[in-house]
Amino acid sequence: MPFEEQIVRDLELLKEKQRYRVLPDFGGGGRFIRVGGRQLLNLSSNDYLGIGADRELLAAWLAEQADAADSGSLSFTSSSSRLLTGSHPLYGELETALAREYGTEAALVFNSGYHANTGILPALSNRHDLILSDRLNHASIIDGIRIAEAEYRRYRHADLDHLEEQLESGAGRYRQVFIVTESVFSMDGDLIDLRRLVELKKRYRAMLIVDEAHGVGVYGDRGLGLCEALGVAGDVDILVGTFGKAFASTGAFAVMRGMFREYLVNTMRTLIFTTALPPIVLGWSLMAFRKQLGMRDERRHLLKLASMLRGELREAGFDVPGDSHIVPVLLGEDRKAVGMAAAMREAGFHALPVRPPTVPENSSRLRFSLRADLLAGDIDALADAMKRRGT
């Protein structure tokens, strides 16, 4: 079959399976979002603290930046990589603030979480190493593992006994063993047992890398993530976070020992061979990071809303795994998930269906991504709409 015909056929198969995707056109982006001319309650955003929707905060920050135009902080481009002329002084301010709050020697800022996860493991590991990865780790981690030269194995999701078996079988056979996991899993909304992971890491002298993309901003007294909340941040070798979710900006970061930062600057391809972030983005990220440190009430409110919704849906008979601010409702078949999303849209709620290959076969779901600017009444209305639709 000619290539073009194969492409057309594959697209038709995606449509038949209810897995065809289009890029939507949205308006707004706060508690409410406009979709197809309708205003819907926004339940698919990762702006967990509502910082990105705070127009007063944005206006005040832009006013401050206008006074600093001569410093170049208002620039919308860096025009080169960090190793050339792109490493604006705001990089240093942001990385210093991150390292200070996390109590680490160093921090490094990246263009995105995808850049971080596809660059760190390939830079640090070689063919004499072993990478052990949770089976449900994010696609960016999987892609980074595939790029790396190291041997890799996946352990069953959150099954740390299975991980220990892998560690035992690999003991003494590799230069270095790496364990990589998310802290809050974005599709199931569950939390990993970080204390046990740290115990295993120490026992087997492994290197532990934790992706806190969905943990930062939400967990910990200062919003530094689940590692902070559980008191293990100092035992994690590299902690990765993102600015693109609760911190309402773009880019990502990692905190680590100074020698690892130095090594990544010299070897990490996704850092070396890309144009640096614009100074205006760095300035906003620094402001947002500092602001969220004190948003304890918002964090408590967000997690309370999630507990309310999860409890009501489980009581109504829905299959709702996890225990975080991400509340998935497992529905199984693709068509059922798509149909439920359409029903919720008619009821005034914007919540997207998640289907394979993002999740395993026969585990399609509706995924509610909650925000701190939602109200208890919003949660009650959503639960009522789900109950009317039925399991």
E-assigned strands of 62-189?
106-110, 130-134, 151-155, 177-182
- Tokens for 9, please give them: 């056929």
Same domain for 287 and 321, yes or no, is no
Report whether pLDDT(1) > 70.
Answer: yes
Same domain for 288 and 318, yes or no, is no
What average pLDDT does the segment 275-300 reach?
97
What average pLDDT does the segment 169-192 reach?
97
Residue 361 makes CB contacts below 8 A (sequence gap 6+) with none
Same domain for 324 and 280, yes or no, is no
255 belongs to a structural domain: yes
Q: What band does 336 get if pLDDT is binned at 50, 70 and 90?
A: very high
Same domain for 251 and 365, yes or no, is no
Tell me the residue type at 318.
F
Do 106 and 95 touch, CB atoms closer than 8 A?
yes
Residue 387 makes CB contacts below 8 A (sequence gap 6+) with 312, 316
Same domain for 215 and 274, yes or no, is yes
Quote the mean pLDDT of the chain: 95
What average pLDDT does the segment 291-302 reach?
98
Q: How many domains in the chain?
A: 2
Same domain for 216 and 258, yes or no, is yes
Q: What band does 27 get if pLDDT is binned at 50, 70 and 90?
A: confident
User: Three-state DSSP class for 330?
Assistant: strand
Q: What band does 75 get if pLDDT is binned at 50, 70 and 90?
A: confident
Residue 205 makes CB contacts below 8 A (sequence gap 6+) with 177
Report whether pLDDT(187) > 70.
Answer: yes
69 belongs to a structural domain: no
Same domain for 191 and 328, yes or no, is no
Report whether pLDDT(244) > 90.
Answer: yes
Kindly state the greatest CA–CA separation across the chain.
Answer: 62
Report whether pLDDT(66) > 90.
Answer: no
pLDDT in tens, 109-168: 999 999 999 999 999 999 999 999 999 999 999 999 999 999 999 999 999 999 999 999
Q: Which of 205, 214, 243, 13 is nearest to 108 (CA)?
A: 243
pLDDT in tens, 252-268: 999 999 999 999 999 99
Q: Which of 248, 271, 292 delimits the end of a domain? A: 292
Residue 69 has a pLDDT of 65
pTM comes to 0.94
Q: What band does 71 get if pLDDT is binned at 50, 70 and 90?
A: low
CA dist list (Å): 80 to 99, 244, 263? 25, 22, 21
Rounded-to-10 torsion of CA 311, 313, 317, 321: -70
Do 198 and 232 touch, CB atoms closer than 8 A?
yes
Residue 114 makes CB contacts below 8 A (sequence gap 6+) with 140, 143
Residue 147 has a pLDDT of 97
pLDDT in tens, 30-49: 899 998 888 999 999 999 99
Q: Which domain holds residue 36?
A: 17-49+295-389
Same domain for 212 and 277, yes or no, is yes
54 belongs to a structural domain: no
Same domain for 25 and 160, yes or no, is no
114 belongs to a structural domain: yes
Q: Which of 276, 292, 308 delimits the end of a domain? A: 292
DSSP labels, 67-101 = HTGGGTTT-S---S-IIIII--HHHHHHHHHHHHH
Same domain for 169 and 262, yes or no, is yes
Residue 26 has a pLDDT of 81
Q: Which of 237, 265, 292 delimits the end of a domain? A: 292
Output the domain CATH number for residue 281: 3.40.640.10
Output the domain CATH number for residue 40: 3.90.1150.10
26 belongs to a structural domain: yes
11 belongs to a structural domain: no
b/e per residue 333-356 (b: at least 16 CB within 10 A): ebebbbbbbebbbebebbbbbbbe
Tell me the residue type at 158.
A
63 belongs to a structural domain: no
Same domain for 274 and 309, yes or no, is no
The residue among 212 and 22 whose pLDDT is bigger is 212
Percent of the chain with pLDDT over 70: 98
Q: What band does 182 get if pLDDT is binned at 50, 70 and 90?
A: very high
Q: What band does 288 get if pLDDT is binned at 50, 70 and 90?
A: very high
The H or E element that residue 227 is part of is helix 226-229
Report whether pLDDT(68) > 70.
Answer: no
pLDDT in tens, 169-180: 999 999 999 999
Same domain for 249 and 131, yes or no, is yes
Strand 364-369 versus strand 353-354 pairing type: antiparallel
353 belongs to a structural domain: yes
Q: What band does 72 get if pLDDT is binned at 50, 70 and 90?
A: low
Q: Which of 236, 238, 271 is nearest to 256 (CA)?
A: 238
